[in-house]
Structures are given as C-alpha cells and as structure tokens.
Structure 1
Amino acid sequence: MPGARTDELARLAELHGVAVSYRPAPDRTVTVPDSAVVAALHALGVDATTPEAVRAALADRERALRERLLPPTVVHWAGDPHDPAALTALPPGTRVRVETEEGEESYRMSAPLVAGLPLGVHRVTATAPDGRTAHARLVVAPDRLPAPPGRSYGLLVQLYSLLSRRSWGMGDLGDLAELAGWAGRVAGAGFVQVNPLHSAVPGAPTDPSPYRPSSRRFPDPVHLRVEDVPEYAYAEDRERLAGLLERAARLRAAVLDKGALIDRDAVWELKREALETVLAVPLGPGRRAAYDAFRAAHGQALDDHATYYALAEMHGPDWTTWPDGLRDPRSAATARARAELADRVAFHTRLAWLTDGQLRAAQRTAREAGMPVGIVHDLAVGVHPAGADSWAQQDVFAAGMSVGAPPDAFNARGQDWGLPPWRPDRLAACGYAPFRELLRALFRYAGALRIDHVMGLFRLWWIPQGSPPTEGTYVHYDAEAMLAVLALEAGRAGSVVIGEDLGTVEPGVRETLQRRGVLGTSVLWFERDWTGDGRPLPPERWRADCLATATTHDLPPTAARLTGDHVELRDRLGLLTRPAAEERAEAVADAAEWLALLGGLGLVDSVGPADSLGPVGGTATGPPGTDEEAQVRAVHRFLLRTPARLIGVWLPDGVGDRRPQNLPGTWAEYPNWRLPIADREGRAVPLEELTAALRLRALLEVFAQLRQG
C-alpha cells in the first residue's frame, strides 16, 4: 500500500496476528515493509490494498470481535480450578451445552462450566439470553507434557546414513531396529533420535531433504525393509525378487565399498518394483483385519494421501500443474479418478500401513531392549508446496506465502524455506484438527517427538511469493491452543516432546515451553554467557529441561569443530564471508576456550578404550587413544556434568566422521542428505562395523553411569 503506514493498517494487522515490526535484539526494533503486511493479510482473506479497504476490513473485524460470544477454540488446562477467560466473559444467564469427545452431553449455566470434563477436544454451544449462539471447540489438556522417565543418554543419527550389509543402499527401518536393540542392551542408551521420516515428494530426482516433505502425516515407504514384510516370503516371482536383491547389493556396495553417495531415487526404484510383487500376495485374515483397522483409523486423510500419490504417477508430482478438476481433492473429477485408479490407491495405502507397522516394530524393539524413551522422531516445520499435504489440506494453508527466517547474525539475507504456512484462523476454526491428527499419527510409534523450529507454535516468518526473505513479517499463532493440543496428544501417548529452540527466540517462549514440559535443545558451542563475558557456560549453569548435545545434523561433527576442518570445508566451497585466516583464528580461539574449560574441570584424558560394553567383534575403526578422541570424550563428559535430562551423542562422532550431513547455504556444492556415516578418512562404516568400533565404544563408556536397566 503506497504512502506511510496508517494507524488503521497497524491496528488491522494486530487484530489478525500480523506483525508490523519485530525485535531481533532487546535494543533493536525492525519495521517490516507494508507490502509484507498487506500480503499476509491477503493470505488470511483480508483486503488491505487501499486505505478504504483497510478501514472497511478494520470495522468488520472490530465488529465481529465485539459481537462474538466465543472464539472458535477455547483452552482449559486441567489443573486450573477456574473457567477459561472466554467462558467467564459470557453474558450472565448464558446457557452452555457441552458435547464431549465420547458423545456425552451436559448443560451448564453456573461456574465452573468446565468442572468434571475429561481431557479431550469437546464441542461447546453457548446461547446468550438475547438469542445469540456460538459454537466452539474446548480443548481440555493436562497441565504438563510427560517428562522423561529419569535421566538418560541416546544416539542421534540420520537414518538414511546408517547402512548395514542388509540394507538396499540407504539405512532402513530394519537398521533402525538393529541399532536400537544394540544401543539399549549393550550400550545402555535410553533413546535413538532420527531425522524426519515423512513422505517425500515423488519423482526423480526428488528433494533429498527430509525437512521439505510431501506429507508429514504419513511416513515414507523408502524406509521399509522389504524382506521384513510378511508377504515377502509368499511372493511367487522369486526370480524377479532375486534379481532385485542383486541390484540392491550392487547399490549398497557402491556406497559402502566404493565411496558413492546415497542415491535415494535408485533405492526407491528397486524397492517399489519389489513391493509391487510382494503386495500382489493376498493378506491373511489377521493381517487383513489389521489393515482394515488402520484404514478406519486414518480415514479420509489416508485416502487423500494415497490418491495424491496415485495421481502423481499419472500427472507428475506438482499438483498445481494437474488438470483443473484434479487440483481439488473434493471435486467430482478427483472422485472419478480415485475410482479409476483404485488399484494404485490401494497400493499406496498398503505402503503407508506397512511403513507404520515397521516403525511401531522399531519402537517395540527399543523398549524391549530396555530403552525408557525409545525412538525419538522428528517433526519438520512444514511441507512442500506441491506435495500431498498441501493438496489435501489447501483450506488450511496460506496461499502465496512461504515460511523462513528474517535476517540474523548467521544469515544477513534471511532464509526462505519454501514451505507454505498453516493459516492460524483456519486452524482455530476447525479446532486444530490437522495438527491433532498429525500428532496422533506420529505418536503411534514415537517414544518422543522432536519439533523442528518449535518457535513456530508461537509465530512464523511469512514471506510473500516472489519477495526476498528480508521482506517478510511474523504472523502469530494461538500458542496456548497449539501447546494444549500438543500436551493432550503427547499425554495420551505417554511421549516426551523436545523443542528445537536454537537461534533467535522471542522473549518468554522458552519459559512458556518449559512451564508446559516441552524440553529445549542446548548445543555445546552455543552455550555461552551471552549476558556477561561471553565465555563458555560452565556445566552447572546449563538448563536441566533440555536435550544437550555437542552438535546437530546442520553443524560440523565434533572432531571437525575441534580440529578446524569445518573452516577448511567452507573455504574450499567458497562459503566464507571473511578472510580464511580470520575464520581459522576464530575457530581456533573458540575450540581453545572450550578445551581450557574442559581441562580445568579435569575432563580430558588419554586413556585407551574400556571394554565393559562387551566383547568387540568385526572391524574396529582404530584405537581411541589419540588426543582428538580424548577431546571428543571430554566434550561428552562435560555434557554429562550438566543437569540436562537427556544427552544426545551424534553417532558419526563415534567413528571420527568430519563431514556435516547438511551444510546450510549449499545445494549443488555439497552432497547434503546423501552421505553415509564414515570414519575420519571418509570411508563408509556399515552398521556391523560401527557397533564394533573401539572408538565408539570408548565414547559411549563415558555414559556408563546412565545405563538403563
């Protein structure tokens, strides 16, 4: 909108949760462009393109808020004896009818109106004495999310990178179960955390990033261990399967023995062909009953998911380019296509069920191995704009907008993640049903859930299509409602929740998350006394309610950080923003400060490997008595000294891997999301050797006092 920002536009934006400014630091306020405010309002269905439109929209919004009896979603925390403010504000004499999730009805006119209601998402109808009626969802949630059962440590790994001599060229759910069984029984670990296993956008080449999926609701069948599907044993075309196994062995050998990158598309081509044969085997009565129960549990969402993949086989993966009728999941044309493609829809439905089953089996294996938490799954912040979820749930996504991050100390140009955001108004209007269903699906097989960019429960940086990330604005969500739904579903599943709260965080967010029981994430290199002298934060000053780690998938492995190899990598790729000598000097000084603290605490040693993890078999990756390895162990001893409830060990640190799995700011320059776990020389290490590696065993011995069982 041309001209200076008006008070009316600022007020209209405020009433719709759209920011007109933000504070990247306590002493700095940044005003966002009017164009971003107008675009965000447009994506929320509000016309703010002219002063006249702004005045009309503002009058409509103020009148609607003034006249409404209830907001679309109301939250009540079970431990609060008082009614929520939205209910106490009802006019005297208002009659309230509550229908619970179980279908029971009751009528209430006196406070507390919520007394005796069970946990759940209930329907409320309020009828005022003047005849006005309002309908709302009432979320009754436990006060706090489940806490971790005691203190424990665990392994952090990108599943695709965890190849065994049985997998088909990338790590799979059979490998995950093997790792969990070993880590729980032999190493006493309490959990294994993996990357998002959401469904990828189909087609080749597909986006290898697990953080830009087609669907977050259903897992990707590329992770299936084909031979573990019960019907595999009864498939008739054994010659075809034998040929596929031979091709898979060559693909696996190329990665493990010849230094090739992981080729997800090639893996899926083989598995898809094998699964076509396996799924031709009829299900037995027990398996059929389980499959039918899965279909009934997931209903329309599963049908839409499978239909999208069936249509993508015919028309390509980008639904925005499909014939007009098929772009609408509820159109008559889509209904006809669904019927015509019934066999393909059934195929993709079966794949979702099989993958869900192997995910639940991995969690059972972890728990049976003594892990109190088990598998920690990762929830990406959003989905691909051309994928299954954005097609099936178009009504709750903000058209023409993308999620990202504003400029900060790490990226002066900001970031555009290419993910369409949910509309907060539409989420509230449907009682957060898409979020509830997403969480419920993930908690079926998650002992804990990591939420990427957990600050997105409070606000997201919306970028208008075609604009740079610098020209976006924050749009706020009802964080109380989002947290209440999260607490409700996590409580029902008995699952822990970990929030990735790194980077710039709005004041009060971490405190709110902690109060509700969401654990934070603390990474060693970022834990400094930022309000004081900037020195490394001593262990006793770390927060307790967190997952403490030395690194993440987006950061250099610990050995690379200690040796400065990460600077050399960025220099080779031309990613440095300052002279290489300055970057090296800063990296050396940073590592030296931490090593000085570790040495002062008496945490550094040069002792050889302990053998209390049991006999060592297979091929070890070398003796762990070098200074570098002693320093890596010292870093983890430091983490053990903190009060953190959970401690994560980046699995590649156990064999000296130098390479980050993802190098932000690169695409073709670096093989993001395609690297197998490797030793310090870059040689791929299969799961069988990994679990026998002396260096890994010595590292995990640091946590002997936290062993489970």
Structure 2
Amino acid sequence: MDKLTLQATLPDSPQKDALELAGIATHYINAKGQQESIPLSVRERLFAAMAASESDFWQDIDHSPLPGVTIFYAETEYRLPLSRPGAYQWHLQLEDLSMALMADAHQYSGSSELDESPIIILPPTLPLGYHLLTVTQGDEQWSCRIIIAPQRCFIPRPLVNHTKLWGTCIQLYTLRSETNWGIGDFSDLKQMLGHVARRGGAFVGLNPIHALYPSNPGSASPYSPSSRNWLNVIYIDVTTVSEFQNSVTAQAWWLSAPVQQRWQAVRATDLVDYPQVMALKLEGLRHAYGHFKNLDDQHPRVSAFNDFLYNHGESLQKQAEFDAIHAYHAAREPFMWGWPAWPAEYHDGNSPAVRQFVENYADDVRFYAWLQWLAHGQLAECFTLSQRQGMPIGIYRDLAVGVTDGGSDTWCDKNLYRIKASIGAPPDPLGPLGQNWGLPPMDPQIMVQRAYQPFIDLLRANMRHCGALRIDHVMSLLRLWWIPYGETADRGGYVMYPVDDLLAILALESQRQKCMVIGEDLGIVPPEIVNKLQQSGVFSYKVLYFEQTPEGQFRNPADYPAQAMATISTHDLPTLHSYWQAGDLDLGERLGIYPDPEILAELNADRQRSKREILTTLFDNGFIDENPQEQRADVPMTPALSNHIHRFIASTGSLLIGLQPEDWLGMDSPVNVPGTTVQYPNWRRKITVDLNSIFDNIEIVRLLKAVQSTRDS
C-alpha cells in the first residue's frame, strides 16, 4: 500500500496501517517489565503532530523506482532492487571526485536487464562515503544517495589493545580559576587538560557546550540548547582574544574600576550569575570586535574569519541571524525568551521582515558569527593541546538529545523539528506522570526524505575538536517518547527511528573524524538496541549506583563489560558524598520531590541496603579489610573510603572510567536535580575551590595516583 492509496482512506483520522508506516508504536515494555498498550487516540495525536496537515504528510510521491537513500555496509554485496519493471541505465558518481577521476569509469556505470524485478549490482570496490546514483529510463531520471559505511565506530588504538584509560568528567561552567570571569571557560579547559594529562589521564569529558541564548542567559541548561550545531559563546575567554588585547579602548574599559568591581563580583559567587557574566563578556567582546573591524582586509585573522564564514555557509549565517534578532528584541522587551515570543513577522527565518533586518543590521549579524569563530578557535586550541600532551582521547563532548522549541534550530527548520510535540520518558514508579523535557523531536520521515543530511551535519558539528562523543539518551537512535503538545508525559507514545541506518552513519562519521562514541544507555533500555550498539562499536555507560544484580548485589569489577565507560555518578545523580549521606533524599524532601512519606522511607531504606552491599563488594574484592557485617550500620564517608571506591571503579573491566572532581572534593550539592526548575539552581553550582587548588591537594594527588596504578595493573 503506497501513500496515495492510504491518503484516499483517511478522510477523518489515520488508519492503523498509516500509523505503523509513520513509526508510531502500538505498545511498549514499561519499567515493571510489563507490556503496555499505547491508546489509539494518543497515536492519532502523534500522527497529527508529524505534519501541519495530513495532506502534508501523505503528499504525492514521485513513483521513483528506487529509494531516496540506501545504506550498505562495506564489503557486503551491493544489490539495489528497483520497484518498477523495465530496463534502466545507471551511473554512480563517487563522493571523492579525485578518486572518481582515477577510477575506471566503466565500473561505475551500467544497465539492468529488462525484467519484472530489475536489480542494480554496484561494484564491490566502492569506497566508504556518500555517493550519488543516477538511474535513467527513457526520458525519466531519478537519483539515490548511496552510503557505504563501516561495520564499527572508530576506537583509539590503546583501547583496541585493551589498555585501560581514565579521565575526568566536568561541567565546564563550574570551574574556578585565577583568571576566568565568573564561569569556567576554554582557558580553564586548557588548564584542566594539562593537570589531567600530567597525572596519566586520557581525557576530559564536558557537559554539552551547544549554543544557548546570549540574549537570554538565564536559560542555562546545557541539555536544552538553542542549537546543537553551534557553540555556547559564554565559554570564550575574552582576555586571550588578540583584538581585546590589542585594543586601546578594550583595555581602558577592562582596567576601569567599575568593570574590575563587576569582574570580582561575578567571580566571588558560589553560583554562576549567567546574566551578569554574559553582559560583562558581551561588552568586552563588542570592544574587541570594534578593533577587529578596523583590521586590513588582508590581515591573517580577517582572512581566517572569512574562510570560516565561507566553509560553514548558511548554517552559520542563520545562527548569527537568530542571535542578532534575539538581541534586538530582548533589548526592547526582556521577556523575549525565544522566537515564538517575537513579533509574528519574524517567526519564519526566511520572511521579508527577517531579510530586511539582516540588511539593516548586517554588522550585528556578523558580530555573532565572529563570536562563533572565536569559540571554535579556542576549542580547537584545547584539543590541539591535548594531542600534543599525548592524551589518547583528549576531549570528549556530549551531544544533547534535543533542542528547545524557541531556539535557532527550530526557527530555521520547522519541518524537521515537530513543535507540536515534545520528547521525554514514560511513567515509572518514581514518576507516575513520566518526564516531559520540552524538546521538540526531529521527524524521522523528514530525516529519511533528506537522505539523513541533518543527522550527518549534527554528527560532524559535534565530532569537531574532540576524540570522543557521548550521545545522551542513545536509545533515541531507536525510538523516542513523543508527547503531544499540552499533554503530560503519561499521554505520550514511542515513535520509532531507523536505527540501523543511523548507526551505520554514526560509524562512518566516527571513522572519518577519528572520534569514538559513548552511548548513555541508562534507564529503560530496549533489548533490541543493546546488541546493535555493541556490534557498532559504541561504548556503553555504566554507573556504580545502578550496577546491581536482580538480587540487589553490586557487580564485581570483572563483571563490568570492556566496551564501556564506568563512572561513580553523573550530572543527574548525587555526588558520592551526598549519595552516601542520603543528602539527595533530604534535598528532595525539602524541594517537594518526595511528598509521600512512605516512598521516602522506602528510598532511605534502599539506600542503607545499597551502601551495605557496596561495602560487601569492596570487602569481597579486597579493597577494605573490615567485614561490613561486623561494622556498625551507618559507616560515614571518609577520604579513605572515597579512595577505595575510586580504586574499585578503576579496577573494573571497563576500558574507560570517568571521574568527577566533586567526588574528589567531597562535595554535597548536585549540579542538577531532575524534576525541578525554579525550586533548585540547576546548572549553576560552582566547584568549591580553584583548579590549581584541586591538583595541589595531597589527598587528591594520592587518589589519582591510586587510580592510575590500578588502571595499569
């Protein structure tokens, strides 16, 4: 049944065949392991969210005899069936034109026999990449993107050789230093890389550093970005920008008493004051940009910036336009949080009003593009430094699962992002209404129609200047929980994604960029994706708190899989000290997260049991000498116990481990409390001491030596 036939059967509501064709699941396995049906009414609302109208979704197809995109794994048989009978001529244009010129042109052209079920057999020597197949029959011609992908993602040679590596996972904004402007920046990242490298570490992992909102800096969640294709300019170290250093005006501004007072004030806070930090940085960068504009057109930095503009084309232009328009409206009305709050004539990124704005305020648009150039340049310097210091991975970046509905990505592409829905998670025992993350999903049908170019662009943008990419909620390659606009998460359903195609492209881009992949696979993980991720070379993500057997015992080090990164905690979980003291449960009670006393009592009892089981596992594996069965019930967290737990993680079979500075410092406060908004200052808490003090701490030095020694053993 094709789309035209289906359209004729859908006068009022989509039929079940249509819903299945759209990838809307009929049921799923819930947190209790039971099958649960998704109501037809919910599935119909999700179908409606996929397009402005059914006619948009079931638009006429061109009756092409071949699909718009076909993916083959390398060294398999490249046989492409055609859906219409007849004889065809075909030609394959290789992605690499130089390779095409060197190749025998005859092997990349051919014909199929007159047949009821014709098949094109492509040559077995095709290189990896994105090629274009053109098929002709008489006066008609069609095209298809042919993707040849490797079987597995890139894995650095030390990991291939089963060398166990460690690194640290940080929230960049939390770092303190002697020079930063009240928020961790790319110069702080350089310092962190140096400290970790000198102690044998292989990487520094970052929170998502995607573009947020320079004109709405209070929207600070790194997992709710404006764009996943561009960088958060707040991480620019203004003082190292050459135009800032060389501008008399900028230096006079910087050394003035009022500015120095503002600088000291934002540095002194225990929480990042995003509005004040961004205001200060933008003022300094405006002064620097004034100097940049006066440079000669032949100046090397001007030439480099122009090359950056040319190489990144429309994507960079639209990001800069969005930021400039946002700044214009926010200066006149502070509550302009995103494009849906702008005047209606600016809602379309290609509207006459937008084009007129770009013409009238071209210099402002160029300024925001210049900021992206600075951010990319400073991040590139960080990665280059890590490679010079011999770090096998260097930097690993984090790819958020989606973007906000008011940001630049949705403003630029309302067909790809379905703003009549948002993504989240289904209900579970601790969250009976589920989770709604407020992020509009990418439409899998549109991704396929565009031959996966949006996904390819996203991977390339995030694999730039790093040796590893962590994919948040990696199950999104298989399915996402869609929630119709205005509904709670329990009124949602799963929409399926072309997981095999996406994994093949992930492997291809990973190999090209020499960037390994770590998949955050916590929560409800469908069994069908576990093997696919493993076979594709995607590293799993193992958190100590969750690594328990069905009987509640904690896994022994040897039971951790090799193809994984093991951690003690994450940004969404309590620090080690807080976990041990149940500080997260006390905080949750104060914030109203656990209003039911019985549930809270059960959680506290489970925490006590988990602590005892952790101690038992440490004892059984020789990390502590005292049998926990002979100790008092509530063993406190001490530097020595923290050291033992860190050595335990270091001893696991997982080839990677990631450690948090908060756990070295014995910090209690989390950076994020899931399920809260204004109740807790999420994504703002800083590290308690500056970078140099962390690595001058004798206890931390000993701990990291113990970690390195354990990894080497």
Q: What does residue 639 of structure 2 align with?
A: 629
1:70 to 63, 66, 73: 66
Q: What does residue 303 of structure 1 align with?
A: 317
Q: CA deviation at 1:652?
A: 0.8
2:666 pairs with 1:656: yes
**Aligned residue type for 2:560:** W
Q: What does residue 119 of structure 1 align with?
A: 128
Residue ranges of structure 1 left out of the alignment (5+ in a row):
1-5, 607-625, 678-683
Q: Note if contact 1:10-1:20 (Cα within 8 Å) is conserved in structure 2.
A: no
**Aligned residue type for 2:454:** P
2:555 pairs with 1:534: no
2:338 pairs with 1:318: yes
Q: What does residue 518 of structure 1 align with?
A: 538
Q: Note if contact 1:165-1:252 (Cα within 8 Å) is conserved in structure 2.
A: no
Identity of aligned residues (%): 34
Q: Note if contact 1:167-1:252 (Cα within 8 Å) is conserved in structure 2.
A: no
2:192 to 148, 162, 179: 179
Q: From the superposition, tell whether residues 25 and 559 of structure 1 become closer, same or farther in structure 2 (CA, over 3 Å).
A: closer
2:40 pairs with 1:40: no
Once the two structures are overlaid, the 10-residue window that deviates more, 272-281 or 487-496, is 487-496
2:162 pairs with 1:167: no
Q: What does residue 115 of structure 2 align with?
A: none
1:19 to 18, 25, 35: 25
**Aligned residue type for 1:83:** Y
Q: From the superposition, tell whether residues 455 and 27 of structure 1 become closer, same or farther in structure 2 (CA, over 3 Å).
A: closer
Q: What does residue 111 of structure 2 align with?
A: 109
Q: How far apart in 2 are the matches of 1:232 and 1:564?
A: 47
Q: Note if contact 1:196-1:211 (Cα within 8 Å) is conserved in structure 2.
A: yes
**Aligned residue type for 2:73:** W
Q: CA deviation at 1:408?
A: 2.0
Q: CA deviation at 1:381?
A: 0.7
Q: What does residue 344 of structure 1 align with?
A: 364
Q: CA deviation at 1:90?
A: 7.2
Q: What does residue 697 of structure 2 align with?
A: 693
Q: CA deviation at 1:288?
A: 1.7
Aligned length: 659
Q: What does residue 167 of structure 2 align with?
A: 154
SS in 2 for 1:440: helix
**Aligned residue type for 1:155:** T
The Cα offsets for residues 120-164 of structure 1, whole Å up to 9 and x where unpaired, read as 2222223458x7654222222222111133231000110111111
**Aligned residue type for 2:694:** L
Once the two structures are overlaid, the 10-residue window that deviates more, 511-520 or 697-706, is 697-706
Q: From the superposition, tell whether residues 442 and 628 of structure 1 become closer, same or farther in structure 2 (CA, over 3 Å).
A: same
Q: What does residue 528 of structure 2 align with?
A: 508
Q: CA deviation at 1:534?
A: 3.3
Q: What does residue 226 of structure 2 align with?
A: 214
Q: What does residue 647 of structure 1 align with?
A: 657
Q: From the superposition, tell whether residues 98 and 578 of structure 1 become closer, same or farther in structure 2 (CA, over 3 Å).
A: farther
1:42-61 aligned at under 5 Å gives the runs 42-45=48-51
SS in 2 for 1:483: helix
1:413-432 aligned at under 5 Å gives the runs 413-432=433-452
Q: From the superposition, tell whether residues 211 and 89 of structure 1 become closer, same or farther in structure 2 (CA, over 3 Å).
A: same
1:161-310 aligned at under 5 Å gives the runs 161-185=174-198, 187-204=199-216, 206-237=218-249, 238-243=251-256, 246-255=260-269, 260-282=270-292, 283=295, 285-310=299-324
SS in 2 for 1:177: helix
Q: What does residue 671 of structure 1 align with?
A: 681
SS in 2 for 1:508: helix
Q: CA deviation at 1:301?
A: 0.3
Q: CA deviation at 1:702?
A: 2.1
Cα RMSD for the two superposed structures: 2.6
Q: CA deviation at 1:505?
A: 1.1
Q: CA deviation at 1:37?
A: 1.2
Q: How far apart in 2 are the matches of 1:26 and 1:566?
A: 24
Once the two structures are overlaid, the 10-residue window that deviates more, 292-301 or 21-30, is 21-30
The Cα offsets for residues 470-518 of structure 1, whole Å up to 9 and x where unpaired, read as 1111111111222222222221110111111100011221210111111
SS in 2 for 1:404: strand
The Cα offsets for residues 605-656 of structure 1, whole Å up to 9 and x where unpaired, read as 79xxxxxxxxxxxxxxxxxxx9622222222222222211110111111111
Once the two structures are overlaid, the 10-residue window that deviates more, 476-485 or 316-325, is 316-325
Q: How far apart in 1 are the matches of 2:436 and 2:33?
A: 25
Q: From the superposition, tell whether residues 347 and 144 of structure 1 become closer, same or farther in structure 2 (CA, over 3 Å).
A: same
Q: Note if contact 2:266-2:277 (Cα within 8 Å) is conserved in structure 1.
A: no
Q: How far apart in 2 are the matches of 1:358 and 1:261?
A: 24
Q: From the superposition, tell whether residues 247 and 510 of structure 1 become closer, same or farther in structure 2 (CA, over 3 Å).
A: farther
1:703 to 683, 704, 707: 707
Q: Note if contact 1:216-1:379 (Cα within 8 Å) is conserved in structure 2.
A: yes
The Cα offsets for residues 259-302 of structure 1, whole Å up to 9 and x where unpaired, read as x4211121010000000001111346211221122111110000
Q: CA deviation at 1:550?
A: 0.5
Q: From the superposition, tell whether residues 304 and 446 of structure 1 become closer, same or farther in structure 2 (CA, over 3 Å).
A: same
Q: How far apart in 1 are the matches of 2:324 and 2:402?
A: 22
2:378 pairs with 1:376: no
Q: From the superposition, tell whether residues 7 and 39 of structure 1 become closer, same or farther in structure 2 (CA, over 3 Å).
A: closer
**Aligned residue type for 1:21:** H
TM-score, normalized by length of structure 2?
A: 0.87
The Cα offsets for residues 450-486 of structure 1, whole Å up to 9 and x where unpaired, read as 1111111111111110111111111111112222222
Q: Note if contact 2:320-2:366 (Cα within 8 Å) is conserved in structure 1.
A: yes
Q: CA deviation at 1:307?
A: 0.4
Residue ranges of structure 2 left out of the alignment (5+ in a row):
1-11, 113-119, 159-163, 330-335, 627-635
2:476 pairs with 1:446: no
Q: From the superposition, tell whether residues 8 and 688 of structure 1 become closer, same or farther in structure 2 (CA, over 3 Å).
A: closer
1:95 to 66, 70, 89: 89
2:587 pairs with 1:569: yes
Q: What does residue 605 of structure 2 align with?
A: 585
**Aligned residue type for 2:66:** L
Q: From the superposition, tell whether residues 646 and 87 of structure 1 become closer, same or farther in structure 2 (CA, over 3 Å).
A: farther
The Cα offsets for residues 6-63 of structure 1, whole Å up to 9 and x where unpaired, read as 9973221111111122122685221112232112212333867xxxx9xx99xx79x9
SS in 2 for 1:407: coil
